[in-house]
Chain A
Amino acid sequence: MTSKLTPPPPSRRTQGEHVVEKIVDAGTPQVSAEPTKADLAEPAVVLSGVSKSYPGVKALSDVNFDCRPGEVHALVGENGSGKSTLIKIASGVITHDTGEVTIGGHSLAGGTVRRARKLGLVTAYQDTSLVEELTVADNIALSFNAVGERRPADLDRLLARYDLPFKPTDLVGALGPGARQLLEVARAMSHQPRVLMLDEPTAALDMQYAAHLEGLIRQSRDEGVAIVYVSHRLEEVRRLADRITVLRDGIIQGTYSGRDWKVDDIVELMVGAPTDLEFPTRTKPHTDSNRLEVKDLGGQGYGPVSINVRPGEIVGVAGAEGNGQRALLRGLIGEKRSSGEVLVDGRSVGRGGPAAALDAGISFQSGDRAVESVYGDLSVMENATAQLGPESGPFGLALPGRLREAFGKVSKQLGIVAASPYQPISGLSGGNQQKAVLARPALRRPKVLIVDEPTQGVDARARMDIYRVLSGAADEGMAVLVNSSDSAELAGMCDRVYVMSRGTVVQEIVGPTTETEIVRSFVSAAGVDESHADQVPRDAGLVSRLMTRASSHFPIFVLVILMAIVAGYAGSKSEIFWTWPNLANMLILSLPLAFVALGQQFTMLSRGFDLSIGSTMSLTVVLVSMTLPDLSPGSLLATVPLLLLTAAAIGGFNAILIGWLKINAVVATIATTGIVQGIAIILRPTPSGVIAPDLGTAVSLGVAFVPAPFIVLVVLTIALELWLYRSRMGLAVRGAGFNPEASRRIGRGVGTIRAVGLLVAAFGAVVAGLLLASQTGIGSNAVGATYSLPAFAAVFLGGAVMTGGRGSFVGAVLGAVFLSLLDNVTPLLNIPNATEQVIYGVILLVAVSGYTVAQRIRTRR
Chain B
Amino acid sequence: MTTGVTGNGPTHMPQPAVQNRLTDLKYRFPARYLASWGALLVLLVFAVVVAPASLGGNSVRVVSALAGILALAAMGQMLVVMLGAIDLSVSAVLAAAAGFVVHYGVPGANLWLVIPAALGVSLVVSVVNGFFICVLRLNSIIVTLSTYGIVTGGMLLWTGVSFSLSGEAPEQLQQVSQWSVLNINTCFLVALIVGLIVAAVLSYTRAGRRVAQVGSNPRAATALGVRVTLVQMSTFAAVGLLYGIAGVFLAGFIGTPDISIGAPYQLATVTAAAIAGLAFSGGPTSVASLLVSCVFLQLLDQALVVAGFSTGARIVIQGFALVVAVAAITISQYGIAGIKRIAALQLGRPVK
Contact = CB atoms under 8 A, between A and B. Distances in A.
Interface stretch (A424-432, A504-512, A543-551, A697-705): A424-432
A661 B339 contact: yes
Interface stretch (A33-41, A413-421, A763-771): A413-421
Nearest to A795: B142
Contacts of A803: 139
Interface in A795-854: 796, 801-803, 832-842, 844-845, 848-849, 852
Contacts of B7: 415-417, 429, 431-432, 435, 461-462, 465
B59 interface: no
Contacts of A372: 217, 219-220, 222-223
B9 A837 contact: no
A210 to B, nearest CB: 28
B86 A666 contact: yes
A371 B219 contact: yes
Most buried by B among A397, A440, A685, A748: A397
B17 to A, nearest CB: 12
Interface in A114-152: 114
Interface in A91-115: 92-95, 110-114
A359 B311 CA distance: 58
A667 B274 contact: yes
Interface string B42-72: 0000000000000000000000000000000
Interface stretch (A338-346, A374-382, A529-537): A374-382
B319 interface: yes
A290 interface: no
Nearest to A414: B5
Contacts of A671: 271, 319-320, 322-323, 326
Contacts of A422: 24, 27-28
A461 B136 contact: no
Interface in A678-701: 678-683, 685
A655 B158 CA distance: 43
Given A372-B223, A666-B86, A679 B316 contact: yes
Interface stretch (B144-152, B167-175, B186-194, B244-252): B144-152
Interface string A449-481: 000000000010110110010011001000000
Contacts of B280: 664, 666-667
Contacts of A664: 274, 280
Contacts of B347: 749, 751-752
Contacts of A802: 139, 141-142
B179 interface: no
B284 A378 contact: yes
Interface stretch (A191-199, A201-209, A350-358, A593-601): A350-358
Interface string B258-291: 0000000001001100100001101110000000
Contacts of A840: 146, 149, 153
B196 interface: no
B216 A751 contact: no
Nearest to B128: A845
Contacts of B197: none
Interface string B305-317: 0000011111111
A355 B351 contact: no
A162 interface: no
Contacts of A836: 153
A244 interface: no
Dominant secondary structure of chain A at its interface with chain B: helix
Contacts of A114: 348
Given A371-B219, A432-B8, A396 B274 contact: no
A675 B316 CA distance: 4
A666 B343 contact: no
Given A358-B225, A372-B223, A681-B311, A432 B339 contact: no
Interface in A388-412: 388-389, 392-393, 396-400
A240 B323 CA distance: 55
B6 A376 contact: no
A625 B7 CA distance: 69
B213 A749 contact: no
B327 interface: yes
Contact of A841 (B11, B149, B226, B310): B149
A358 B224 contact: yes
A837 B330 contact: no
Interface stretch (B100-108, B116-124, B200-208): B200-208
Contacts of B206: 388-389, 392-393, 396-398
Contacts of A472: 1
A516 interface: no
Contacts of A423: 27
Given A93-B350, A468-B1, A657-B323, A849 B213 contact: no
B156 interface: yes
A306 interface: no
Contact of A842 (B146, B310, B337): B146
Interface string A354-370: 11011100001010000
A744 interface: yes
Nearest to A846: B146
Contacts of B326: 661, 663, 667-668, 671
B310 A471 contact: no
Contacts of B282: 377
A354 B219 CA distance: 11
B157 interface: yes
Contact of B319 (A435, A662, A672, A841): A672
B342 interface: yes
A386 interface: yes
B217 A375 contact: yes
Interface in A33-84: 55, 80
A462 B8 contact: yes
Contacts of A392: 206
A432 B322 CA distance: 38
Nearest to B335: A55
A792 interface: yes
Most buried by A among B1, B86, B153, B271: B153
B5 A364 contact: no
Most buried by A among B8, B141, B347: B8
B20 A420 contact: yes
B209 A398 contact: yes
A413 B219 CA distance: 28
B157 A752 contact: no
A386 B213 contact: yes
Given A373-B220, A376-B216, A750-B348, A835 B23 contact: no
Contacts of A849: 132, 136, 138
A229 B169 CA distance: 74
Given A378-B284, A835-B157, A354 B322 contact: no
A472 B208 CA distance: 32
Given A660-B339, A661-B326, A465 B5 contact: yes
A678 B346 contact: no
B348 A112 contact: yes
A377 B348 contact: no
Nearest to B327: A661
Contacts of B28: 422
A607 interface: no
Given A397-B205, A667-B280, A678 B147 contact: no
Most buried by B among A475, A659, A661: A661
A834 B157 contact: yes
B334 A662 contact: yes
9 closest cross-chain pairs (CB), A and B: A749-B348, A751-B346, A674-B319, A358-B225, A415-B5, A841-B149, A837-B153, A681-B312, A678-B316
15 contacts: A354-B223, A366-B223, A373-B224, A375-B216, A375-B283, A387-B224, A389-B206, A420-B20, A420-B24, A432-B7, A468-B1, A657-B323, A662-B339, A679-B312, A755-B346
Given A375-B212, A376-B216, A417-B12, 12 more contacts: A280-B1, A335-B222, A417-B11, A422-B24, A667-B270, A667-B322, A675-B323, A796-B142, A835-B157, A841-B146, A841-B149, A844-B145
